[in-house]
Each structure stands twice: as C-alpha cells, then as structure tokens.
Copies of this chain bind each other. A is one copy, B any other.
Amino acid sequence: MVSSDLQAVPYLTTALHGPLEYLEAHLLAHQSEIEHWLRLQWQETPAPFYASVDLRNAGFKLAPVDTNLFPAGFNNLSHSSLSLCVQAVQSAIERLNVSAHGVLLIPENHTRNLYYLESVATLQGILQKAGLVVRIGSMLPDMKVPQSLTLPSSKKLQLEPLIREGDCVSVKGFTPCIVLLNNDLSLGRPKILEDLYQEIIPPLQVGWSTRLKSTHFTFYSEVAKTFAEQIKIDSWLIDPFFKNCGEIDFMKNEGLECVADNVDALLSAIRRKYSEYDVPHEPFVVVKADAGSYGMGVMTIHSADEILALNRKQRSRMSSTKEGKSIRRVILQEGVYTFETWKPLDAVAEPVVYTIDHFVVGGFYRVHTTRSVDENLNAPGMHFEPLAFVNSCITPDMTKAPNACPNRFYAYGVIARLALLAAARELKNGSKPDRF
C-alpha cells in the first residue's frame, strides 16, 4: 500500500521552487496550528454535509475555483476512500440527528446520465454502510412507479416517485427524518420541498437557483484573509481576485461595458501581483455564470477587448447554463493556471477534493486532453483519475520534502477546507454575506 504515494500522481510542469513550495512548506510547518484553528472554526460554524472543491495549482498559487454543495462523482473516488467516507458520514449523522434511522436521497433528474447514476449508487452505498436506510426519491414529474436500473458497474439503483403528504416528503412507506439533496436545484426551489417538517440537507437556499459564486468567494476571501494572517502569508497565494457586475445580457450586449471594465481592473491587479512574485505568465480572467454549474457558462478572457468583441456563438454560449437557465449575472475571477500534468496522457489536470462533514475524504484529478492550462477543464471530454489521492490528503509527512505527494495533497486538503469553511459560513448566513 505504501506504493500508492508513487502511483499515477500528476507532475507540476512548473519548477517547484517558487512560492508554492514555500506555501507547502509553510502549511506543513504550521500544521498543528492550522488543524487547531480549523477545529475551532467547525465548532463555531458546522461544515456542510458534503462538498467537492475544484482547485487549481499554478505552482506559484493554489486556490479553489468552485465549491459544489451537491457533489456528484462519488464513483470516481478510489476504493480506499470508501471507509473514510463511511466514517465521516457517521460523524455527520451524530451531529445532525443521532437518532436518525434513514435518509431520503433526492437526486438530479437526468436519469439518462449513467455516470451520474453511478455516483448516486455509490453515495447510497456509503450512507448504507454508515448504517442508514436509504431510499431514492425522484422529482421527475413523469415518474409514477418505481424504476429499477442496473448500472454498467452492475450496481443496482431503484428510483421511486417522491410523494408530498402534509409537511413531509416520502417514498412509498418511508418517511425518514433526513432528506438529503443531491439535486442542485438549478431550475429553482421545487414546491414539493418547501416548508417541510423534515430537515433538508443542504438547505434549499444553497441551490444554484439562488446561490451565487460571488457570495461564496466573498466568504472565501474573508476566510483566506483570516487564515493568511494566522499563518502569516500573503492571502493572494490562496485567494483568486474577483469582481462582479449587476444585471447583464450577453445576447443583447447589455452591461458588457461593466464586464470589460472589471476585466481590465482585474488584469491590472493580477499583473501587479505577477510582477511582485516574478511570475513569467500572462494574466487571465475567467468569466462564469454567477449561479452556474456543470462547468457551463464559463469563458477564459485575456483582455477587456475580447468581451466587447465576442461573436454571436460566444455570446450565445454565455447566455444560458444547465437546463437552459438564462445567465443574468456573472462573476469575473482571476484565472489560476493549472500546471499539473497527467503524464500518461500529457494532459492538463486539476485536483477535485471531496469532503463529508468537515473531513477530507478523498479526491481525484479531472483530466482533459484537449484543454490548455488556462481553460476550464469541467467540459465534455474530461475524464477522472481516481487513484491519485489515496489516503493522502490527511497524512502529511514531516520527514518528506514539502512537495512530496502526501504533503502536496495535505496542502490541497487545507485549501479545500478553507473553501468548505466559506461554504459553512454561507449556510449559516442563509447564503448572504454580512456585508450584502
């Protein structure tokens, strides 16, 4: 098992003697202080039930770029993550409702996406192994009778019609006290889930119809600042700059001047930082739907002019996200290069870290063979390499170099937990930062 550290781990193509090695060494040197600080944070602000955090490792900078509170992809975690997931679910249930027997799991409606269904089946298995009775309630409007599926992995999945009776939802004969959402509510808060007596986890207000990435990153910036002060680093090393505008409409060319101005301001700010740290790369900005998911409505921009010169196809792509939902708000985020390369394919890779309760339970690399280091990898053609994180995110090893795998992965686990803490504060504040 020792060899797992050496298996199939991406390489940083950039030389590791810049600020990141400094950052890794620094996190490692402050490990006890960091864990102590995080422990106190979780007492104050309990972590979301589960999450996945997309990170980008630029060699000189390590930062989260998206925090998903309805994670899919559990099927991409390594087999050895399973017991960590089970143990973390047990901790979460003890905290949420120690006498819970069962969970009603509400998945996304796209029943034809077999990858997604594999994730649902894996998640169901994790919850069952933790000792919960789990049944799956589908919100598909045309589901009238239970539907049994056998997935490519040979796992079996039974979807049942979700029923609303009084202030409870159930599937036939099963009304547990916990309703676990794995549906990101992109199309809005479904009526069937409003005003329930049961606890919905996570709560409806963090569905993508209302949650904004800009809110998350406002909280993240606060977390990163406090954390950076705590361990005495420049918070920029872990926090991407961002800005947002008011209402925009890419198709009607409305509000794009504000976007262009903000892109300009961001590029200048990044350029100053690149100069301060002698980073020999071109700054870029990523424009994302503020309420987007599934990697849709995302665009890489290198200059303000590009915004004003978008062609019809590009503008159309930025006009709607998952399930055709139109984009009216965008977040402009400092682009963070990913300089990790999946060697066997010489492909660009970015780490995705999974958490359950406040524990890092695993992760994988999202790999894309045709995208480049400054592009969104969450796009058709991506695949996942599940082995790389085996046991590594929580087993830093002081006897090894700061950039040895368990230590780099420890750094990933720390930054992912900072994003998780930001999400926890979002939840606590009803998804609105205090300042808004």
Contact = CB atoms under 8 A, between A and B. Distances in A.
A36 B99 contact: yes
A15 interface: no
A260 interface: no
Contact of A131 (B39, B78, B93, B128): B39
B32 A394 contact: no
Interface string A1-38: 11010000000000000000000000000011111101
A215 interface: no
Given A39-B131, A78-B1, A129-B396, A32 B102 contact: yes
B82 A84 contact: no
A133 B1 CA distance: 26
Give the interface residue-count category, chain A.
35 or more
Contacts of A98: 39-40, 43
Interface of A, secondary structure class, is helix
Given A32-B102, A98-B40, A391 B131 contact: no
Interface in A59-111: 78-80, 82-84, 86-88, 90-91, 93-94, 98-102
Most buried by B among A78, A82, A387: A82
A359 interface: yes
A114 interface: no
Contacts of A31: 128, 131
Interface string A178-205: 0000000000000000000000000000
A246 to B, nearest CB: 42
A390 interface: yes
Nearest to A386: B1
B87 A394 contact: yes
A130 interface: yes
A39 B94 CA distance: 7
Contact of A1 (B43, B131, B390): B390
Given A1-B387, A35-B90, 5 more contacts: A32-B133, A39-B131, A79-B391, A91-B91, A156-B399
Interface of A: 1-2, 4, 31-36, 38-40, 42-43, 78-80, 82-84, 86-88, 90-91, 93-94, 98-102, 128-133, 156, 359, 387, 390-391, 393-399
In order of increasing CB-CB distance, the 10 nearest A-B pairs are: A35-B131, A1-B79, A83-B391, A32-B133, A1-B80, A86-B394, A2-B79, A129-B395, A80-B80, A32-B131
